[in-house]
Amino acid sequence: MSEVLSWARRWARRPTATEHELLELARSATLDDVRAAYHKLARFAHPDLHRTAMTPAQLEDVTAAFARVSNAYAVLSGKLRREAKRAPANPGEPAPSGGHAPARPSTATMAPKQPPARPSSTAPGPTSSSTGAASASAGPSAAGAAGALAGPVRAASTTSSPSRTGATAPLPIGPANAMSPRALGHYRRAELAMLRGNSTEALLHLRMAIASDPQSSFLRAALAELEAR
């Protein structure tokens, strides 16, 4: 029991852990690997196995960590299944990284809803113009507009790794090591947004990174650099 608790608390301290990290997998993991890893963790950490032996607070810690593992499993297995579906004919070739809408809308977990032609299937962040337009048109007339939210800023868990995204213009800032883990999560997303050419979103994430780690001079420099562009 204490083993599963310390496992859960380890992840609680790392809110930005990647899917592969949560599932304790190498990046080359296949669909079968992902499933096996999830089953193994389920047999270890599923809250049902611990409910009679824990306090409600302890059980919540374990549930919270396992719920993130489930999400990691959902994201990775979904991605691998879609990739397999896309390229069954020539298995040697890597799946295309962007501009490809998933075959079935019901499985397109994070596909953008409004502009269908946006060149990325996994990154729903609106471009600056679409955010502006959506907000403006929503104004006072739309239902519930008083408290309306604009489009999503990021997909917390489906961002693909920079290596996958490939040869777009890299962000003009080097690898981060001088910031808190939370800030690093935002910074990584800023990087991704830049790779997709969405500087508004990148700016937003950079600001969020700074909000969670105001001390980091590295981040402030990055922001200055980005704003100058």
Partner 1 sequence: MTLALGIDLGTTNSVAAVATPTGVEFVLSPRGERIHPSVVAVPAGGGMLVGSEARLQRLAEPESVIFSAKRFIGQNLRSPLVLAATDGVGFLIEEGINQQPIAVVRDRRMTMPEVSSHVLLYLKRNAERQFGERVSQAVITVPANFTDAQRQATREAGRLAGLEVLRLINEPTAAALAYGFGKRLHEQVCVFDLGGGTFDASLLRVEDELFEVVASEGEFFLGGDDLDRELAEHLAERFHAHLRVDPRPHPLLMMKLQMSAESIKCHLSEHLVAEGEIDGLDLPDGEVVKLPFRVTREDFERMISPLVDRALTVTQRMLDVAGVLPSEISDVLCVGGSTRIPAVRRQLAALFGREPNVRINPDEVVAQGAAIQAGSLSGGVIPGTGMAALDSVTTLAMSPLSLGGRSVALAPPARPLLLDVTPATLAIQTTGGFTEMLLDKNLPIPIERSRVFSTARDKQTRVEIHCCRGEAKRYSDNEPLGLLVLEDLPERARGELTIEVTFRVDTDGILHVRARDTASGQRRDVRLNILGAPS
| Residue among 36 and 176 whose Cβ is closer to partner 1 | 36
Q: In whole angstroms, how far apart are CA 101 and each of 105, 110, 216?
A: 8, 11, 38
In the bound state with partner 1, the residue whose beta carbon lies nearer, of 67 and 221, is 67
Contact range with partner 1 by CB under 8 A, out of 1-9, 17-25, 150-158, 215-223: 150-158
Dihedral of the CA atoms 209, 211, 212, 213 (nearest 10)?
A: 80
Q: Cα(93)–Cα(111) distance, rounded to whole angstroms?
A: 23
For position 51 contacting partner 1 by CB under 8 A, the verdict is yes
Sole window of 4-12, 99-107, 169-177, 191-199 interacting with partner 1 (rule: CB under 8 A): 99-107
Q: Confirm if 76 and 20 have CB atoms less than 8 A apart.
A: yes
- At residue 116, the 3 state secondary structure works out as coil
Segment near partner 1 (CB under 8 A); pick from 91-99, 148-156, 172-180, 191-199: 148-156
Under a CB-based contact definition with an 8 Å cutoff, are residues 127 and 152 in contact? Answer: no
HSE-CB for 80 with a 13 A CA cutoff: 17
Which amino acid type is present at position 207? R
Per CB under 8 A, does 5 bind partner 1? no
Stretches 22-30, 91-99, 152-160, 221-229: which one binds partner 1 (CB under 8 A)?
Answer: 152-160
Give CA angle at 152 (29, 116), nearest 5°.
80
Q: How far is the CB of 104 from partner 1 (least distance, A)?
A: 8
By CB under 8 A, name the binding residues for partner 1.
38-39, 42-43, 46-49, 51-52, 63-64, 66-68, 70-71, 73-74, 78, 81, 85, 104-107, 109-110, 113-114, 124, 131, 134-135, 137-139, 142-157, 204, 207-208, 211-212
